Structure 1
Amino acid sequence: MNTDYHFPISSSTTCSCTVKTARDEKVGKIKDLMIDSETGDVVYAVLAVDEGFLNLGTKLLALPWQAFHFHTQQKDVIIVNVEKEKLEAAPGFDSDNWPKGPQHEFIDDLHTYYGFERRRITAL
């Protein structure tokens, strides 16, 4: 996540912000943050899409953390840097069927889909 005011933010604050596109279209809210248990990094955010946006109903989308940044004038808005068409075609899941299985493969796939490079911690 990119910010113009670099400071830590709580997960509860992040989840209470409104997510909008760069074109100021309200998308929804971040439902949860998925944290890598080895590094402590947020690897992806689970975006709960508002009913009516993209005609997706209550679909959940996993997006790389790098796909988001905070609005510089509105502290309660997070901008998703993904085109609406990409979100429309994105593979999603419902609240009863969260991603399972090899998580590193899933995380690599979602970074590839959205066009963000996955940051990896290298040993010293």
Structure 2
Amino acid sequence: MLDKSYEVDNQTGTNQEGPDANRPLRRLTATSIIGDKIENPEGDDLGRIDNLMINVRSGKIDYVVIEYGSFLGLGGKLFAIPFSELRPAPGRNVFILDRDEEYLKNSPGFDQTHWPDTNDHTYYGDVDLYWGYSAVP
């Protein structure tokens, strides 16, 4: 029996056996999506995933922090958007956000050096209201 090497699978998150292996996509590691591009359905670049905000009570990802408008990590703005707003693009390291660039730019954002407090109900309340989202307490 041939011994299978799982090194490629573990590094890429893709099962290398068969044309539809690892479909439908159900789980990804945080490190495999941090840095992934965000696009709208038209293919416009909306930034990259900078970080994840995990609800420690529910164990679910509440928000994805998107870095938008930076060049080499400088001058950009960060936006916490509900994770449920994103969907993975099969076969690519890209997530799709069904919103245009203006919608993202007008959402509540923050600076890389001034993150909102994790208990800042005002900021996250504004985010939830803007996106029509209700986070689990």
- TM-score (normalised: structure 1): 0.77
* CA-CA distance at 1:102 after TM superposition: 3.2
RMSD: 2.2
Query: SS in structure 2 opposite 1:61?
Result: strand
- TM-score (normalised: structure 2): 0.71
Q: Deviations over 1:64-105 (max 9, x none)?
A: 111111013x33111112222211212211111001263444
- Cα pair 1:82 1:114 within 8 Å, conserved: no
2:89 matched to 1:71? yes
Of the two, which has the highest radius of gyration?
Answer: 2
Count, aligned residues = 112
> Relative contact order (alpha carbons < 8 A, sep ≥ 6): 1 or 2 greater?
1
Query: SS in structure 1 opposite 2:24?
Result: coil
1:1-124 equivalence runs, <5 A: 5-51=24-70, 57-72=75-90, 74-100=91-117, 102-115=119-132, 117-120=133-136
User: Matches of 2:24 and 2:122 in 1, distance apart?
Assistant: 32
* CA-CA distance at 1:39 after TM superposition: 1.2
User: Matches of 1:39 and 1:101 in 2, distance apart?
Assistant: 15
* CA-CA distance at 1:119 after TM superposition: 4.7
* CA-CA distance at 1:41 after TM superposition: 1.0
Structure 2 stretches of 5 or more lacking a match? 1-22
Among the aligned pairs, what percent are the same residue? Answer: 24
Counterpart code for 2:126: D
User: Matches of 1:108 and 1:92 in 2, distance apart?
Assistant: 12
Structure 1 stretches of 5 or more lacking a match? none
Query: SS in structure 2 opposite 1:87?
Result: helix
User: Matches of 1:101 and 1:41 in 2, distance apart?
Assistant: 15
Counterpart code for 2:134: R
